[in-house]
Amino acid sequence: MTTPAFIIVGRVRKAHGIRGEVVVEPITDAPDAIFASGHRVFAGTASGDIAPNRAELHVDSSRPFSDGYLIAFAEVPDRNAAETWRGRYLLVPADELPPPADDEVYVHELPGMRVELSDGQLIGSVEETYELPQGLAIDVRRAPPRERETILLQFDERTIASVDRDTRVIVVTPPEGLLE
């Protein structure tokens, strides 16, 4: 799998206050570094594509705020401008990010990965990912003969035992009764 040119690192939830600040949900393990003062991000889509206008934003200030970050961008002068950013995804060039650690994976790499139980039994493959209020979830298309079914699994330490980027295999420990 090739790494895309840009990686999603956050999503603007809403405007905050009258000075143009926005509440950002980080979609990165390093939000303090990504959203540090002076850094830049680009407007993008949920699929990780850069927006047609290639809008570039520069972080003026950033601080933790209510399960996210409160960020002021140099290009967003007031609340009216901030409102136009609601729901937008923020991306950075992939070559500006360190590669993920051995036990990490980029969200864009998950679709198509094989999903198995710890004994090697095939469950299916990741069809889609979702950013839910409780965190990332993967929608798994079941293997034959149940290929018409999907299962939604939380992508957290209770459910995901391991992820192998090289073999593209995710080992899961689903809640009791989910696979029946």
Give the model's confidence band at 3: pLDDT under 50 very low, under 70 low, under 90 confident, else very high: low
Residue 1: its pLDDT value, please?
Answer: 54
Give the single-character DSSP code of 79. Answer: H
Beta strands in the chain (DSSP E): 6-16, 21-26, 40-44, 56-65, 68-73, 89-93, 114-117, 122-132, 135-142, 150-154, 160-164, 169-172
- Please indicate, yes or no, if residue 1 is contained in any of the structural domains: no
- Please indicate, yes or no, if residue 178 is contained in any of the structural domains: no
Choice among 23-27, 47-51, 111-115, 142-146 with the minimum mean pLDDT: 47-51
Q: 137: Cβ–Cβ under 8 A, 6 or more apart, which residues?
A: 129, 130, 152, 153, 154, 155
92 and 116 in a single domain? The answer is: no
Strands 135-142 and 122-132: antiparallel
- Please indicate, yes or no, if residue 139 is contained in any of the structural domains: yes
60 and 126 in a single domain? The answer is: no
- Please indicate, yes or no, if residue 105 is contained in any of the structural domains: no
17 and 80 in a single domain? The answer is: yes
Mean pLDDT across the chain, nearest whole number?
Answer: 89
DSSP-derived 3-state class of residue 39:
coil
Residue 36: its pLDDT value, please?
Answer: 94
**Alpha-carbon gap, residue 62 to 21, rounded angstroms:** 9
Closest residue by Cα to residue 31 from 82, 87, 69, 74: 69
Tens digits of per-residue pLDDT, 99-122? Answer: 777 777 888 789 999 999 999 999
Number of domains in the chain: 2
Number of neighbouring beta carbons within 10 Å of residue 56: 14
pLDDT at residue 52 above 60? yes
Going edge to edge, which strands form the sheet with 135-142?
Answer: 150-154, 135-142, 122-132, 114-117, 169-172, 160-164
Q: Which domain holds residue 121?
A: 110-172
Give the domain-ending residue among 96, 119, 147.
96
Burial class of 37 by CB neighbour count within 10 A (0 to 12, 13 to 18, 19+)? exposed
Q: 29: Cβ–Cβ under 8 A, 6 or more apart, which residues?
A: 104
- Please indicate, yes or no, if residue 180 is contained in any of the structural domains: no
Tens digits of per-residue pLDDT, 91-100? Answer: 999 888 877 7
**Alpha-carbon gap, residue 34 to 61, rounded angstroms:** 12
Give the domain-ending residue among 28, 61, 96.
96
CATH no. for residue 77? 2.40.30.60
59 and 127 in a single domain? The answer is: no
- Please indicate, yes or no, if residue 179 is contained in any of the structural domains: no
Number of neighbouring beta carbons within 10 Å of residue 93: 14
Tens digits of per-residue pLDDT, 16-36? Answer: 999 999 999 998 888 898 999
59 and 124 in a single domain? The answer is: no
Choice among 52-56, 61-65, 102-106, 128-132 with the minimum mean pLDDT: 102-106
